[in-house]
Structure 1
Amino acid sequence: MNLRDCLLAALVATLWGINFVVIDWGMDGIPPLLFAAIRFTVVLLPAIFFVRKPDAPWRFIIGVGVFMSLGQFGFLYVALHLGMPPGLAALVLQAQVIFTMVIASGVLREIPAPAQLIGAVIGSVGLAIVAVGREGSVPLVALMLSLLAALSWAVGNVVSRASGISGGLSLTVWSALVVPLPLFALSLLIDGPVQIGAALAGFSWEAAVSTIYTAGLCTLFGYAIFNRLLSKYPSAAVVPWILLAPVAGIAAAWALLGEVPNTAEWIGGLLLLAGLLVAQRAGRRRRTAQSASANRPAFDRSDASRSALPRAGGGTAGQR
């Protein structure tokens, strides 16, 4: 990835890290699936009337919507509602890095370089250290839902990469078509019309700000860039950047909620950054080798045959 795309990936990871704190802050008193449905309604409308449909089969557009949006955020919002701490949720979701590499290697035959795998493992160790070092118990159901969110995100990454769609914004907007109605229907089934009506009637300014941030910055802006990067680079070059999200999430919780990082969080955060640097250094080496190979002059049989011909003025009388 070039410097510009690296900076964009780091910016997206930062926005997504803060996202967990913002979701938890704005969801007070609102059923989680309803809150997610409102988010993707804002993503969809009115943008779909101004953004052209991606030039790709519907199966890819629907696949990205189902896995990257509906599955990931449906599971995540319920996990946060059930007591998953936002900082820890930001960490657990980074299991998508390993999930994406494994799925992409099997489905797309994108085999990561050994150093990229090492970087991902180092980052995962950092995640584990932070998770173990955090105080307080986490409901098992919330933890499992967060892992399912990570798996769904990983599948969505691979579908996005396989689609070959270069327009990240168009894919983000049109894939949102399949998200709001299922979430609304599930919320109506689980929470009931009375609770949904009360939540909509008491929709607070905190919930509105949270929705604007998550729909505008994190989805329309963030996923537009992320999907474009996936169309340009192998999955193993893009997804490790999202290891920065937990660092941003912990920093946001520190700045906004007064949650001071403990020793394990500092150590784990440094390992996350180290894993990212290792993975990206491996990616640069691989691209340099591929570029050198592509620029090396190919052996031309006609050159060899010409060199074997006698030079002008030489040879036998018959050859003259």
Structure 2
Amino acid sequence: MKPADVGIAVMVAVIWGLAFVASRLALDELPPELMTALRFGIAAVPCLFLPKPKQVSWPLLIAISFTLFLGQFLAQSIAIAHGMPVGLTSVIVQSQALFTIGFAALLFGELPSRMQTVGIAVAGIGLLMICGTVGYDFSVTAFAILMISPISFAIGNLLLRPAQGAPMFQLFAWLCLCAAIPLFALSLLTLGAKPVWLALSHLSLVGVLSLLFVGAISTSIAYWLWGALLRDHPAAQVVPFALLVPFVGSAASSIVFSERFGPLRLAGMITVIGGIAVMLLSKRPKGLTKKTLPKVA
């Protein structure tokens, strides 16, 4: 990779890490379903100028959107709104790599390599260590809801495979639109029109800027840049940069929200990241080499 591309990869990882903090700031002022709807509504603005990708059918577009975007980010938002620490959230979401490889093995027979199996085991141990801290500053319910996020993310990764030929920016804009519409409907159904309007009309400058960051920069621009990197370079060169996301998210959360990590939780977080590093840096099955899109926030 050229130095400029390395810089872009690092920048995207930093953006995704900071997006966890921005999401929490927005959630301090908005219900999770409305905040997530606004996030994707902002990211879907390019649909006004870009047609739906011809390479992707409506059923596939909706399926990808409901897993990769709606399911993943709504679960994150609800979990954070129910007290899930932001730094810890940024680590657990990255366990999507574990689930992606596992689902690929179950559904497509893409058996992981020996080193990937070791990485899965290590990451699994780390998640169990984190489970040991449940009940101290977050509930079992919040943790269970958050685990929907990496699972949805992993399913979306696999559904995204048939759409790899579509223009990335165009594809992600329409994925955001497919997520935004039902989320706005859900917000009106569960909250009511008046509470939605009151929440929007009382947004502070911090809330507005946080929404613009997660919608326009983190979701729209960062995903487009990441997709371009995956298009131009082998996934093995690009994907490891995603390991920076939980470090940035945890560091930013400790600064902004004074989040602290006890010995067991910190050890679990490091173990999860270590296991993911083994999975991402080891030789992957051919079917996963350039097909898996990792994330972030």
Distance in structure 2 (CA, Å) of the matches to 1:87 and 1:26: 16
> How far did 1:101 drift?
0.9
Distance in structure 2 (CA, Å) of the matches to 1:186 and 1:278: 39
Deviates more, 1:214-223 or 1:86-95: 86-95
The CA deviation string for residues 93-128 of structure 1, in whole angstroms up to 9 with x for no partner, is: 233222111122333444332212322433443444
Matches within 5 A, 1:28-43: 28-43=28-43
Q: How has the CA–CA distance of structure 1 residues 208 and 163 changed in structure 2, closer, same or farther, with 3 Å as cutoff? A: same
Q: Hey, what does 2:179 align to over in structure 1?
A: 179
- Asked if 1:53 corresponds to 2:48, the answer is no
Q: CA RMSD in A?
A: 3.3
> How far did 1:27 drift?
1.9
Distance in structure 2 (CA, Å) of the matches to 1:191 and 1:110: 43
> How far did 1:2 drift?
9.2
Q: Extract unaligned runs of 5+ from structure 1.
A: 291-320
Distance in structure 1 (CA, Å) of the matches to 2:7 and 2:130: 25
Q: When the two structures are superposed, what TM-score results if normalisation uses the length of structure 2? A: 0.80
The CA deviation string for residues 27-80 of structure 1, in whole angstroms up to 9 with x for no partner, is: 2231211111111111011x1233453241323322221111111112221222
CA contact (8 A) 2:21 2:249 kept: yes
Distance in structure 2 (CA, Å) of the matches to 1:227 and 1:105: 24
Q: Hey, what does 2:201 align to over in structure 1?
A: 201
| Amino acid in the other structure paired with 2:47 | I
Q: Hey, what does 1:121 align to over in structure 2?
A: 121
| Amino acid in the other structure paired with 2:154 | A
Matches within 5 A, 1:73-152: 73-130=73-130, 132=132, 136-152=136-152
CA contact (8 A) 2:91 2:246 kept: yes
Structure having the higher Rg:
1
Deviates more, 1:113-122 or 1:223-232: 223-232
Q: Hey, what does 1:192 align to over in structure 2?
A: 192
CA contact (8 A) 1:97 1:240 kept: no
Q: When the two structures are superposed, what TM-score results if normalisation uses the length of structure 1? A: 0.75
Distance in structure 1 (CA, Å) of the matches to 2:93 and 2:202: 30
Distance in structure 2 (CA, Å) of the matches to 1:112 and 1:236: 15
Deviates more, 1:130-139 or 1:166-175: 130-139
> How far did 1:228 drift?
5.2
Q: Which has the higher contact order (CA 8 A, sep 6+)?
A: 2
CA contact (8 A) 1:24 1:80 kept: yes
CA contact (8 A) 1:237 1:280 kept: no
Q: Hey, what does 1:259 align to over in structure 2?
A: 259
Q: Hey, what does 2:16 align to over in structure 1?
A: 16
Give the match's secondary structure for 2:175. Answer: helix
Distance in structure 1 (CA, Å) of the matches to 2:104 and 2:84: 28
> How far did 1:23 drift?
0.7
Distance in structure 2 (CA, Å) of the matches to 1:134 and 1:13: 27
Q: How has the CA–CA distance of structure 1 residues 146 and 37 changed in structure 2, closer, same or farther, with 3 Å as cutoff? A: same
Give the match's secondary structure for 1:283. Answer: coil
Distance in structure 1 (CA, Å) of the matches to 2:156 and 2:236: 14
Q: Extract unaligned runs of 5+ from structure 2.
A: 290-297
